[in-house]
Amino acid sequence: MQRIHGQDSFLLKSGSVELAITRLGGHLGPVTFFPDSPRPLQPYAIAPWAEETIPPDTPALIKVLRGDFFCSAFGANAELVRGRKLPLHGETANGVWEPITQREEQSGCWFKLGMDLPLQGGRCEATTAVLKDHSIIYQRHDLMGLTGPINPGHHATLAFPNRQGAGRLSVSRWQLARTYFEPVETAESGGRSRLLADAEIRDLQAAPCVDGSTIDLTSYPGRRGFEDVAMVCADPQVELGWSAVAFPEQRYVWFALRDPRQLTCTLLWFSNGGRDYAPWNGRHVNVMGIEDMTGYFQTGLATSSRANALSARGVPTYLEPGAGGQLSITYIQGVARIPAGFDRVADIQPHRNSRSVRIVSESAIPVDVPCQVDFLTSGRLPGMELS
């Protein structure tokens, strides 16, 4: 364990990935891909206040905010759940994780952390693994003893270069996209939003704004001085859900893979200086959250687990645990180098007996990346005894 950007953190390293996970909140970051190469990659954002002294009543999640983290109850959780108040994005994103086991094997290395969930009932154990020669992070969150439904999610936040349109967003085939049902920020709250609230998005490159114009959500950074949220709901016929951002000038793609029956939606958070209040103070800029989750936007477990505007359209917004309150959520995220001419991701598909994925650009350039895709369904990796 080391102190990194203000937080005690667990470390894991292979030849292709070097990562830290905070003890408080289990936030993944910083992460360096190809750490020993002439051009290492660090795609994840870290809040600018990470090493500052901020008010003690600040939620743990906001103090730590970085990279990606697992949400046991995605969202604000303003309403009580069975008489209990859950923290922002749930206990897993705010509580203290304790080490359980760690192992280095010929194929790679992994560790497992755990925490009890007194508010939701039960426990969560998180396994993080890296494989030799894979620029991939494999994670499995095992929930057990849950006493009711859950709306889980991952909360990846990427730091974009400070140049308009430096990154190009893509997502797998979707059935429905909408803006948040009210302005994310207002002058009264000390911020600003630009997207038209409670509007359907028929084209991600032409999302409606409050002034009657449209903006391209797939090209970012843009819209400095605004904080916005949109939701993209996966087509239920898709077998492999994916989210990706291509950075053509930096010559790489960040991508995440999921089972769309577990994580049914992708919440897009455009954070570009639209919050003037502390600790944001207008300085959280050029950050996009690409948050694969199941829920009714960022409202929390209570509203997600009852009828809402998304569930009325056939979108699952919560999951029921199995026998013994058990549920396992698997997730893959990583990067790939891309050649000149690779513009935006058009598709990601398993390739070569699920031992790699093929990422194809809109300009028809394919890139093959070593990736054990069947981890999403099996929760297992070759050569590793993940307990």
* Residue 351 maps to a domain: yes
pLDDT at 259: 97
Number of structural domains the chain divides into: 1
Which pTM was predicted? Answer: 0.97
* Residue 207 maps to a domain: yes
> pLDDT tens, position by position, for the chain (387 residues)?
899 999 999 999 999 999 999 999 999 999 999 999 999 999 999 999 999 999 989 999 999 999 999 999 999 999 999 899 999 999 999 999 999 999 999 899 999 999 999 999 999 999 999 999 999 999 999 999 998 999 999 999 999 999 999 999 999 999 999 999 999 999 999 999 999 999 999 999 999 999 999 999 999 998 899 999 999 999 999 999 999 999 999 999 999 999 999 999 999 999 999 999 999 999 999 999 999 999 999 999 999 999 999 999 999 999 999 999 999 999 999 999 999 999 999 999 998 777 999 999 999 999 999 999 999 999 999 888 887
CA distances from 222 to 82, 125, 167, 171, 190 (A): 41, 38, 10, 19, 20
Question: CA torsion angle for 343, 345, 351, 357 (degrees, to 10)?
Answer: 100
pLDDT at 175: 97
* Residue 285 maps to a domain: yes
Burial 249-287 (b: 16+ CB within 10 A, else e): ebebbbbbbbbbebbbbbbbbbbbbbbbeebbebebbbb
pLDDT, tens only, 226-271 = 999 999 999 999 999 999 999 999 999 999 999 999 999 999 999 9
* Residue 80 maps to a domain: yes
* Residue 383 maps to a domain: no
Domain that holds residue 105: 2-378
pLDDT, tens only, 134-165 = 999 999 999 999 989 999 999 999 999 999 99
pLDDT at 383: 83
pLDDT at 199: 97
* Residue 282 maps to a domain: yes
* Residue 77 maps to a domain: yes
For the chain, what is the HEC assignment? Answer: CEEECCEEEEEEECCCEEEEEECECCCEEEEEECCCCCCCECCECECCCCCCCCCCCCCHHHHHCECECEECCCCCCCCCECCECCCCCCHHHCCECEEEEEEEECCEEEEEEEEECCCCCCEEEEEEEEECCCCEEEEEEEEECCCCCECCEECEEEECCCCCCCEEEEECCEEEEEECCCCCCCCCCCECCCECCCCECCCCCCEEECCCCEECCCEECCCCCEEEEEEEEECCCCCCEEEEEEECCCCEEEEEEECCCCCCEEEEEEEEECECCCCCCCCCCCEEEEEEECCCCCCCHHHHCCCCCCHHHCCCCCECCCHHHCEEEEEEEEEEECCCCCCCEEEEEEECCCCEEEEEECCCCEEEEECCCCHHHHCCCCCCCCC
Centroid of chain to Cα 233: 15
User: What are the backbone angles phi and psi of residue 55, rounded to the nearest 5°?
Assistant: -50, 140
CATH number of the domain bearing residue 185: 2.70.98.10
pLDDT at 223: 83
* Residue 284 maps to a domain: yes
